Amino acid sequence: MTAARREIAIEALKSLVSGAYPWKMGPARRLKLWSDVPATSRPACFMFEGGQETYFWNEGATPKRAIDLKLFVYLNAKDPAVIGATLINDVMDALDDAFALSGADLAMGRNTLGGAVHHCRIDGKTLKDPGDLDGDALLIVPVKLILP
């Protein structure tokens, strides 16, 4: 089996996340500061690729590579009638639906992003800040890509 290329895998993830929610900005592969994302441009999604990459070996000469990324989601909860936690929960539900297994992936028990990776999943603890104090809601979702 030919090793999957990192850029192909990351672009496949970007495509999945792009269709998961009606983003006003993104998903972009370059993280921006809060001050660079006005409330009118939210919900905004950024893919942060500054995490770890791990090689692990099974039997054979080809390692599997695990790439840890984070999705940063900025939401606008400045309106006192808007509950930031509800916005975050809506995004999480949409991401859960997008990452759900279907078709051939369901039979294999892993999300291959259309064959671009061995497995892709939300993996780990999410960070949820509903923005109750400042109206700037934040969601950070850890994603693991496993490449053959």
pLDDT digits (tens, 9 = 90+) for 101-126: 998 999 999 999 999 999 999 999 99
Rounded to an integer, the average pLDDT of 24-39 is 95
Cα 63 to Cα 52, 133, 137, 138, 148: the distances in Å are: 16, 46, 39, 35, 7
- pLDDT tier for residue 96 given thresholds of 50, 70 and 90: very high
Rounded to an integer, the average pLDDT of 11-39 is 96
- pLDDT tier for residue 58 given thresholds of 50, 70 and 90: confident
The tokens describing 91, both together, are 């995004």
For position 140, what pLDDT does the model report? 98
How much of the chain exceeds pLDDT 70, in percent? 95
pLDDT surpasses 90 at 32: yes
Q: Given 3.10.440.10, 3.40.50.2300, 3.60.9.10, 3.30.2000.30, which CATH number is that of 6-30+41-147?
A: 3.30.2000.30
The tokens describing 16, both together, are 């999945």
pLDDT surpasses 90 at 138: yes
E-strand stretches of the chain: 25-28, 44-48, 53-56, 64-76, 119-122, 127-129, 136-147
* Every domain of the chain and the residues it spans: 6-30+41-147
- pLDDT tier for residue 4 given thresholds of 50, 70 and 90: low
Select the highest-mean-pLDDT range: 53-57, 59-63, 78-82, 137-141: 137-141
Distance CA 136, CA 91 (A): 15
Q: What is the pTM of this model?
A: 0.91
User: Which residue is associated with the tokens 């994302």?
Assistant: 37
pLDDT surpasses 90 at 3: no
Rounded to an integer, the average pLDDT of 4-10 is 87
